[in-house]
Amino acid sequence: MSPTSEKRRTLIRGASLLGGPPTDVLIEGESVAAAGPGLTAEGAETIDAGGLVLLPGLVDLHTHLREPGREDSETVLTGTRAAAAGGYTAVHAMANTFPVADTAGVVEQVWRLGRESGYCDVQPVGAVTVGLEGKQLAELGAMHDSAAGVVVFSDDGRCVDDAVIMRRALEYVKAFDGVIAQHAQEPRLTEGAQMNEGAVSAELGLAGWPAAAEESIIARDVLLAAHVGSRVHVCHLSTAGSVDLIRWAKSKGWQVTAEVTPHHLLLTDDLVRSYDPVYKVNPPLRTEADVRALREALADGTIDCVATDHAPHPHEDKDCEWPAAAMGMIGLETALSVVQHTMVDTGLLDWAGLADRMSARPAAIGRLGGQGRPVAPGEPANLTLYDPAHRAVVDPSGFASRSRNSPYRGLELPGRVTHTFLRGRATVRDGVPT
């Protein structure tokens, strides 16, 4: 047999590519071989995709995979299975592991575990500072030059609050077109903070987390990025004021990008009245007006992309009284549904816009070759098939993630990922990871 005839072939029939009219897509080996109506392919596995939307594989800029060190909440294997189940073909693995991913050795370990998992590409994020301590730059160059080829650096979970360290980091990564992804949280303004500072925190008597704590760091960092001529990316934007600052920085032509999480597009601090720590997250859930501003900014492109901030925690760290509970919520397996619900079903984004914000843009920010590409002949077959008409009540007990801290439990959401393909190989079939 010739090498070509040995290639795995899959024919996706009648899918709506980016919400367009029904079309067929032929996958051959690792690539898209043809796209258009009326394709035939003898001997190919055929998937009847009538009514399904075909999207490029999703890319997450912000995933906590927890390995090494907190394998009780997630591993690279369970986290990437969850990612595939959610339609993702690539994730960026955050650096706040134990040990911290602040050396070439640790990022290479995570990268290797990702390759072994086979469920999606794992691109490690390197820490900006040693031990996330904010005092001394980590070995950014060595992490970039390692097999992991780190491009995105972040102390996420902590803010790089020292302006001189931030400046030096921006200067350092400029040499290789890297980007600093900032967790914007002024530490002194948020000491002991438990939730958004506002009417609800006043009523509940919980220590508040002012919007200004996020906004003051963003204002400083966009100015620093402009001064240095380097790239800054703002993690999990959560306030209307942050949106204004990003809009202003972009109007100046500065190299500033930003992400928003699905939960900040849907949930508000009203939910904290339940005192259920599943709603405790960093940055905190904000107000209705913030949610509105975030949705509009994602629609008009001020916010570049959706990033999950998938933050798995074991039940003993979440099923406790509010002040003692860990911050964070899982999100990989519900992201597409939440974005459909908040952005597509509301008419704010069409499917092409969603693909831009959940695949092309995050891949471009992370400089991920082969991901976030159009669904077109010759391109890598990283694809997601999605049923937008499906409706189901979220039940985390069936999740691929090792953790269960989903704020959507019991909520009816639209949509279901039926298939995910990573370079032509199905990682999810009929809704089940392979």
Ligand X SMILES: NC(=O)N[C@@H](CC(=O)O)C(=O)O
Task: Report the binding-site residues for substrate.
Answer: 64-66, 96, 282, 313
Quick one: 183 or 233, whose CB is closer to ligand X? 183
The distance of closest approach from Cβ of residue 36 to ligand X in the complex, given in angstroms and rounded to an integer, is: 43
Residue from 151, 98, 106, 156 nearest 129 by CA:
156
Is 328 near ligand X (CB under 6 A)?
yes
Map the footprint of ligand X across residues 165-194, applying CB under 6 A.
183
Residue from 212, 404, 180 nearest 314 by CA:
404
Q: Which of 63, 75, 96, 371 binds ligand X (CB under 6 A)?
A: 96
Is 130 near ligand X (CB under 6 A)?
no
Quick one: 328 or 433, whose CB is closer to ligand X? 328
The distance of closest approach from Cβ of residue 368 to ligand X in the complex, given in angstroms and rounded to an integer, is: 22
The DSSP element (H or E) to which 56 belongs, if any, is strand 53-56
Paired with 35 in beta bridges are 25
Residues in the chain: 434
309 is catalytic: yes
Is 304 near ligand X (CB under 6 A)?
no
CA–CA separation, 201 and 337 (whole Å): 29
CA–CA separation, 85 and 236 (whole Å): 22
The b-or-e profile of 136-146 (16+ CB within 10 A means b, else e) is ebbbbbebbeb
CA–CA separation, 216 and 241 (whole Å): 10
Is 97 near ligand X (CB under 6 A)?
no
Residue from 244, 236, 246, 305 nearest 267 by CA:
236
CB 295 within 8 A of CB 265: yes
The distance of closest approach from Cβ of residue 420 to ligand X in the complex, given in angstroms and rounded to an integer, is: 24
Q: Can you say which residues are annotated as belonging to the binding site for Zn(2+)?
A: 62, 64, 156, 183, 236, 309
The distance of closest approach from Cβ of residue 88 to ligand X in the complex, given in angstroms and rounded to an integer, is: 18
Q: By CB under 6 A, how many residues form the interface with ligand X?
A: 11
Which of these is catalytic: 309, 317, 356, 430?
309
The distance of closest approach from Cβ of residue 70 to ligand X in the complex, given in angstroms and rounded to an integer, is: 9
What's the order of all strands across the beta sheet hosting 256-260? Answer: 152-153, 179-182, 231-234, 256-260, 305-306
Is 233 near ligand X (CB under 6 A)?
no
CB 421 within 8 A of CB 383: yes
Residue from 217, 205, 215, 269 nearest 241 by CA:
215
Quick one: 157 or 366, whose CB is closer to ligand X? 157
Q: Which of 157, 262, 331, 362 binds ligand X (CB under 6 A)?
A: 157
Is 309 near ligand X (CB under 6 A)?
yes
The DSSP element (H or E) to which 60 belongs, if any, is strand 58-63
CB 89 within 8 A of CB 65: no
Paired with 155 in beta bridges are none
Is 196 near ligand X (CB under 6 A)?
no
Q: Can you say which residues are annotated as belonging to the binding site?
A: 62, 64-66, 96, 156, 183, 236, 282, 309, 313
Is 64 near ligand X (CB under 6 A)?
yes
Quick one: 284 or 415, whose CB is closer to ligand X? 284
Is 109 near ligand X (CB under 6 A)?
no
The distance of closest approach from Cβ of residue 409 to ligand X in the complex, given in angstroms and rounded to an integer, is: 17
Active site residues: 309
Binding site for ligand X (CB under 6 A): 64, 96, 156-157, 183, 281-282, 309, 311, 327-328
